[in-house]
Amino acid sequence: MKILDRYMVQRFTGTLLLCVLSLIVLFVAIDLIDNLDRFIDYHASIGQVSLYYFYFVPYIVTLVMPLCLLMASMFVVTTLVRYKEVLAMQSAGISFLKIFSPLLRLALLLSLLILILAEILVPPANEKKIQIKTVIRKDRSQWIEGDKIKKDFHYQGSRNLYRFGEYNSNTQSAKAIIIETREDHRPVRRVDAEFLQYDEGHWVLKKGADRRLHKGQEQTLFFEELMADSLISEKPEDFYVRIKLPEEMGFFELKGYIEKKRVAGESVQQYVADLYYKVSYPLINFILTLLGTALAVKIKKPSFCFGVSLLVGFVCFGILNLGLSLGHSGYLSPLVSALLPSLLFLGIGLFLFFRLDHQVT
């Protein structure tokens, strides 16, 4: 690494770490204040609260990193401009692209790391955080050791959509169950039963009706007991897996969930938009670094950095969320809703950055 590159990276990483730590502390403090009365009401221990926020940190990092990169790039560049360091580099015949390329390369690397972090570390950390919160709240609708009853939920299996009135994982039994089978997004079979029991490795349905559709004709079989191994391919523990939110899933996990929804004939517009957003969001780290660098050269005053970075960040995230909302509602295609805001800010950043070589600081 060249001396200039090393100098720029050291200046930038020091400022970036300070921004990240500051925003993590601020984020945790605000969340703690908001939830403090709940923690007290549920008699949460210091250890439980500490673990809760420990597992919260990976998600916070992915959330605040774009703003941190924006703030760090603006502060570092305005400081270099103010003390004529950039002018000295220009006088030595170094272009703006060469001066700031170490920052951009580092931002691109961090974008890739955030993408990997969001796929590998964030989902299991979020799962742990939710488990701790569940234990603190003693929420009976969630997975708690010794109380494994879940009510009024649905589960998308490999072939069927299941609706449960109640499922008990201790006894491996269910009440008020509906099983729907679809082919080519059309219902071909529906089984309603009062009880479902997993007995010695076999599924048994009790007191219900088995309806089948064939060429527009419905055939109904009423039963007292029906062996259901050919119908139900899932295991008992599968039905007690908590359905995660899109932000709690990794890219491939969400993609698999979307395929299951498609097989069941359900709308997947919202989930596909979230899927593309998982790819486009990490790119914002590089884009805001590029935009912050270009703006900082023009601003030249470090005292303005904080306010300008907050304004740019607010506008950027506002447009990102607007695009995602339009994708959820179907006004834009999922791909366009995820990529259009990023491409817009990338275009603005490139335009401003490549105009820099036409000016002298």
Q: Where along the chain do its domains lie? A: 3-132+269-358, 143-241
8 A C-beta contact, residue 306 and residue 71? yes
- Inter-CA distances, 85 with 101, 284, 295, Å: 16, 28, 17
Architecture (CATH level 2) of domain 143-241 = Sandwich (2.60)
- Sheet arrangement for strand 186-199: 149-156, 160-168, 173-183, 186-199, 202-214, 217-227
The pTM (predicted TM-score) of the whole model is 0.75
- Provide the token pair at 55: 């597992």
- Kindly give the confidence (pLDDT) of every residue in the chain, 361 residues in length, as a single tens digit, with 9 standing for 90 and above: 588 888 899 999 999 999 999 999 999 999 999 988 888 888 888 988 999 999 999 999 999 999 999 999 999 999 988 888 888 888 888 888 888 999 999 999 999 999 999 889 998 898 888 878 877 766 434 443 444 677 777 787 878 888 888 888 888 899 999 998 887 767 889 999 999 999 888 999 999 999 998 777 888 999 999 998 888 988 887 787 666 777 778 888 888 888 877 766 667 888 899 999 999 999 999 999 999 999 988 886 777 878 888 899 999 999 999 999 999 988 999 999 999 999 999 999 999 888 876 554 5
**CA geometry: angle 66, 275, 155, nearest 5 deg:** 130
